[in-house]
Amino acid sequence: MDYWFSEMHTPNIKLGFRIKREIAHATSKFQDIHLFETYDYGKLLVIDGTVQTTTRDEFIYHEMIVHPPMFTHSNPKKILIIGGGDGGAAREVLKHEPREVHVVEIDEKVVEICKKYLPEISSSYNDPRVHLHIENGKEFIRREGNFDVIIVDSTDPVGPAADLFREDFYEDMKKALKKDGVISQQCGTPFYHPEEFSQVKKELEKVFEYVKIYIAYIPTYPSGMWAFAMASDMPIERRRKLNFATKYYNDEIYYSSMSLPNFVKKYCED
Amino acid sequence: MDYWFSEMHTPNIKLGFRIKREIAHATSKFQDIHLFETYDYGKLLVIDGTVQTTTRDEFIYHEMIVHPPMFTHSNPKKILIIGGGDGGAAREVLKHEPREVHVVEIDEKVVEICKKYLPEISSSYNDPRVHLHIENGKEFIRREGNFDVIIVDSTDPVGPAADLFREDFYEDMKKALKKDGVISQQCGTPFYHPEEFSQVKKELEKVFEYVKIYIAYIPTYPSGMWAFAMASDMPIERRRKLNFATKYYNDEIYYSSMSLPNFVKKYCED
């Protein structure tokens, strides 16, 4: 049987995955969640028709949303992850030997499915340092604080998570950070959504003294070029060296990922 | 009407483009050539079912196959492009003010279609310094020589161009180069074809003293991560600064494109 899932990158571009079977399907009060087994990419988590993660290439996304901000901080001990219900960002954060990691995921169903069917990614939940909070991240950071690093592992700035890319949310994040704190945030693809992408940088710059955009190759995300932002009131530089095994990130990539093609630089400056 | 062209990246992964119309179609003695007008990527050239170039993202491929080797050479005057029948590599080479550029394309039909329907890319043929040779590149380099830079802009190492990725071809290239000559070659995606990719590096290293792999983001190519190789008997370093407008390449990208993710490094070392 020829059974495909295709993500529409735009109304006119789609990436199709041949599917072996559907592993799980749930409709939560927030969204529609599918987990597929694919031929080429292992397990594929899809939310509202959008690829969230695959077991073959998730290492790139999770390493790159976590290690640049974590290596920017000299001693990150208390970490907050907003979103990241699959547990992948927490898994990478644990490699830095933190004291506590808080994952704030709005949708319990995502966590349930990932715990049950994606242990490769979600096993971090078994670590006693990882604390899961099922709640809205915006409300959580108004109440909690003293974080060294905050990682915003949400859906894209063009979708329902648009609130997480605005000045007032960044103000709340800043209050929830220690003085030398660092944040990172995935901010979509500059190739397909240049306006949203450059807006993120502008909004961050209103709140933080230092903002850097960096990029990584993610084969299953639209255009394959994915952007992240780091922000801090301390200069953004690598303060520690890599001291564990990785599959994508390395010490040179810390800086080379911030070396942007001219067309991307232009969107950052406009 | 819903009219799509999809490239099969593997038998289980495909990238689909919604098509406005077919601009041209020809079957040459070598291959099947289609030119489409798409909704999102402008014109799309497809050969034997494989995306060759689109007017929206061709700048990345053509800048990155040309500028790194050209800026490695201190004074490149005589340039050879093997393949590259669309004229895009020649267009970028001309920005370096060379004395002569030779394009050796095996398939006259590709040149015909590009000259007629893709002037954005093929207009370089109107420049008197550009000399077109319709012939097999392997035979051409056994006869001609004294090149400063040779650019191998062929199809992939897994297809009919596999001969252009082997030691004997590299030996012939070396003879056709001046002593301080530099070559570049597109060598496919390390993500989907790690064996072929690492084989290219090994073969080049048998012939040239210095070999560097570098990568670029190409949204319409499989995985979005595309690899190139540079090789020379001179150390590979940037000898000149960028002195014209570009959309992707810049002086930092010269080096950052050689900063490889760990999983790609691994394929280079195996």
- Least Cα separation, residue A175 to chain B (angstroms): 34
- Considering only the beta carbons, identify the residue of A10, A11, A256 that sits closest to B259: A256
pLDDT-based confidence at residue B161 (cuts at 50, 70, 90): confident
Q: Give the 3-state secondary structure of residue B264.
A: helix
The two tokens of residue B186 are 């597109």
- Sequence-distant (6+) residues with CB within 8 A of B146 are B78, B176, B178
**B253–A261: do the CB atoms touch at under 8 Å?**
yes
B234 has a chain A CB within 8 A of its CB: no
Average pLDDT over residues B83-109: 97
Q: Among A131, A135, A125, A164, which Cα is nearest to A147's? A: A131
A100 beta partners: A78
Same domain, B93 and B47: no
**B13–A17: do the CB atoms touch at under 8 Å?**
yes
Report which residue type is found at A190: P
Distance CA B117, CA B248 (A): 24
Average pLDDT over residues A222-227: 97
**What CATH number is associated with residue A81?**
3.40.50.150
**Comparing A162-166, B6-10, B18-22, B128-132, which segment has the lowest mean pLDDT?**
A162-166
Same domain, B139 and B106: yes
**B16–A13: do the CB atoms touch at under 8 Å?**
yes
Tell whether the model's pLDDT for residue B157 goes beyond 90.
no
Distance CA A53, CA A47 (A): 10
**What CATH number is associated with residue A9?**
2.30.140.10
- Least Cα separation, residue A9 to chain B (angstroms): 10
B242 has a chain A CB within 8 A of its CB: no
Same domain, B26 and B68: no
B53 touches A50 (CB < 8 A): no
Q: What is the pLDDT of residue A27?
A: 97
Average pLDDT over residues A98-112: 97
Q: Which residue has the tokens 């340092």?
A: A129
Tell whether the model's pLDDT for residue B160 goes beyond 80.
no
- Sequence-distant (6+) residues with CB within 8 A of B236 are B72, B182, B210, B211, B212, B230
* Residues of chain B with C-beta less than 8 angstroms from the C-beta of A18: 11-13
Q: Burial level of A128, CB count in 10 A (0-12/13-18/19+)?
A: exposed
Same domain, A77 and A49: no
Same domain, B121 and B97: yes
What one-character DSSP code corresponds to residue A123?
G
Given B39, B54, B69, the domain boundary residue is B54
Q: What is the pLDDT of residue A96?
A: 98
Same domain, A37 and A165: no
The two tokens of residue A13 are 């571009």
Q: Are strands B130-134 and B100-105 parallel, antiparallel or unpaired?
A: parallel
C-alpha B241 chain-centroid distance: 22
B13 has a chain A CB within 8 A of its CB: yes
Distance CA B154, CA B143 (A): 19
Query: How many interchain CB pairs under 8 A, A with B?
Result: 109
B223 touches B191 (CB < 8 A): yes
- Least Cα separation, residue B180 to chain A (angstroms): 28
Q: Strand order of the sheet with strand B78-83?
A: B130-134, B100-105, B78-83, B147-153, B177-186, B225-232, B210-217
* Residues of chain A with C-beta less than 8 angstroms from the C-beta of B224: 217-219, 223-225
Q: What is the pLDDT of residue B152?
A: 97
Q: Which residue has the tokens 């399907």?
A: A25
C-alpha A18 chain-centroid distance: 25
Distance CA B37, CA B14 (A): 19
Tell whether the model's pLDDT for residue B270 goes beyond 70.
no
Given B16, B31, B54, the domain boundary residue is B54
Distance CA B146, CA B38 (A): 41
Cα B89 to Cα A25, B84, B94, B114, B206: the distances in Å are: 48, 6, 9, 13, 26
B151 beta partners: B81, B184
The pLDDT mean for chain B works out to 96
CA-nearest residue of chain B to A256?
A: B256
C-alpha A99 chain-centroid distance: 21
Distance CA A217, CA A199 (A): 22
The pLDDT mean for chain A works out to 96
Q: Give the 3-state secondary structure of residue B88.
A: helix
Same domain, A105 and A176: yes
Q: Give the 3-state secondary structure of residue A92.
A: helix
Tens-digit pLDDT profile for residues B215-253 = 999 999 999 999 999 999 999 999 999 999 999 999 999
Same domain, B128 and B64: yes
Average pLDDT over residues B153-175: 86
Q: Domain range spanning residue B50?
A: 4-54
pLDDT-based confidence at residue A270 (cuts at 50, 70, 90): low
- Total tally of structural domains belonging to chain A: 2
Given B54, B74, B90, the domain boundary residue is B54
Same domain, A126 and A49: no
Q: Burial level of B106, CB count in 10 A (0-12/13-18/19+)?
A: buried
Tell whether the model's pLDDT for residue A168 goes beyond 90.
yes
**ipTM of this complex:** 0.95
SS3 content of chain A, % helix, strand, coil (to 5): 35, 35, 35
**Side-chain half-sphere of B40: how many Cα atoms within 13 Å?**
20
pLDDT-based confidence at residue A175 (cuts at 50, 70, 90): very high
- Torsion of the alpha carbons at B35, B52, A226 and A10, rounded to the nearest 10: 20
- Sequence-distant (6+) residues with CB within 8 A of A270 are A198
Q: Which residue has the tokens 């003294």?
A: A209
The residues of A assigned a catalytic role are 153
Distance CA A108, CA A85 (A): 8
* Residues of chain A with C-beta less than 8 angstroms from the C-beta of B17: 12-13
Same domain, A14 and A102: no
Same domain, B110 and B32: no
Same domain, B47 and B95: no
> pLDDT above 70 covers what percent of chain B?
99
Interface test with A, best of B262, B265, B267, B268 (most A CBs within 10 A): B262
Distance CA A98, CA B1 (A): 55
A210 touches A54 (CB < 8 A): no
DSSP E strand stretches across B13-112: 13-27, 32-38, 43-47, 50-54, 78-83, 100-105
The two tokens of residue A58 are 């998730």
